[in-house]
Structure 1
Amino acid sequence: MKFFNSTQKNMDIETVAKMIRNFIAQNPNQRYRLAVGTDSQVRGNYTCFATGIHIHRIGQGAWCCVAKKVENRRYTNLREKISRETVITYEILSILHDLLFDTLCEFTENYKNFDCKMEAHIDIGTKGETRKLIREMIGYFEGMGVDTKIKPDAFVASSYANRCSKNFKVEHREAV
């Protein structure tokens, strides 16, 4: 997956981790929230998955990026579609955890006010059909020690990634 934002393009996950490290290093004696969320849109025989990564220096700004992946498959089953979004979020969070673990430990040891919570943002809520999936989708993250947010608190999935997933062209899709 290649991530991008308004100023940077074609970032691999290692570059994203480096950008997160740099963002934290600018002011390491603060509290942070690192959130990842995925949303999807079905159009024709294709489904576009957009995954957002958002690092927030609480009360003092944020850095974020997103990646899109178009699959040549029409997801019609809600459980299957939400499960796919959740698995993508899990995979990205797991990779980021591995890439950032040593850095986050170092900041924790060296800065008394440093704190970084990791969050999974899932595009489900207590209203509508997705309410039946809450327990199952949250279960993905329980053993990982990651806080899970659902609507209306899952803004990375339900707002940021949602905006990006709506704008896709089939001819520019990433091969799956």
Structure 2
Amino acid sequence: MKEEPFISPSRGPLSFDAMVADIFQFIAADPTARYKLIVGTDSQARDDVTFVTAVIVHRLGKGARYYYRRRVQPKITSLRQKIFYETAISLTLADRLARRVREAGDPSLNVEIHLDVGNGGETRDLIREVTGMVTGSGFRAEIKPYSYGASKVADRYTK
């Protein structure tokens, strides 16, 4: 099965390998800066559910570059199931990205996962479980209002 490309607003469709190369090129342009590598997934339900996963390389205080990928799944009626599926998608990609970063020999670049859950809504009862999934897998977890990778970047492309 052919993997869906990642879309870069400035570079167009990219394979996973081309996206990773572009991330390293962005970092190489200012190697003294500090960076965050973020993965976040959000979804929007209609007849089907559109899941969008964003990868953001954030040059702290100096901008960012991002990429996203969409996938459509049959309708999921349970909010719990949808949030767990979003988390699983992010974990799978973050693991793949972290392995590639380690292979490239950059120990300072850690991947963090932004979750579309927060204390203010229906998802508050799921925070402990999904953050546990993420931290138990070795990644830092962020929730709303700090999870802009999911709640802002990915959300923008679910519509």
Aligned positions of 1:1-176 closer than 5 A:
1-44=4-47, 46-71=48-73, 73-105=74-106, 115-166=108-159
Matched residues, number: 156
TM-score by length of 2: 0.92
1:61 alignment partner AA: G
Q: Is the 8 A contact 1:48 1:69 kept in 2?
A: yes
1:27 Cα offset (Å): 1.4
Structure 1 segments (4+ residues) deviating >3 Å: none
2:100 alignment partner AA: L
Please identify the structure whose Cα radius of gyration is greater. 1
- Please list every run of 5 or more consecutive structure 2 residues that lacks an aligned counterpart in the other structure: none
Task: Write out per-residue CA displacement over residues 119-138 of structure 1, whole angstroms, 9 at most, x where no aligned residue.
Answer: 10000001122011011101
1:7 Cα offset (Å): 2.2
TM-score by length of 1: 0.84
| Aligned mates of 1:118, 1:47 — CA distance in 2 | 26
| Aligned mates of 2:101, 2:19 — CA distance in 1 | 10
- Cα RMSD (Å): 1.3
Q: Is the 8 A contact 1:138 1:148 kept in 2?
A: yes
1:10 Cα offset (Å): 2.3
2:131 alignment partner AA: I
2:123 alignment partner AA: T
**Identity over the aligned pairs, expressed in percent?**
36
- Please list every run of 5 or more consecutive structure 1 residues that lacks an aligned counterpart in the other structure: 109-114, 167-176
Partner SS for 1:47: strand
Partner SS for 2:113: strand
The answer to which structure, 1 or 2, has the higher relative contact order (CA under 8 A, 6+ apart) is 1
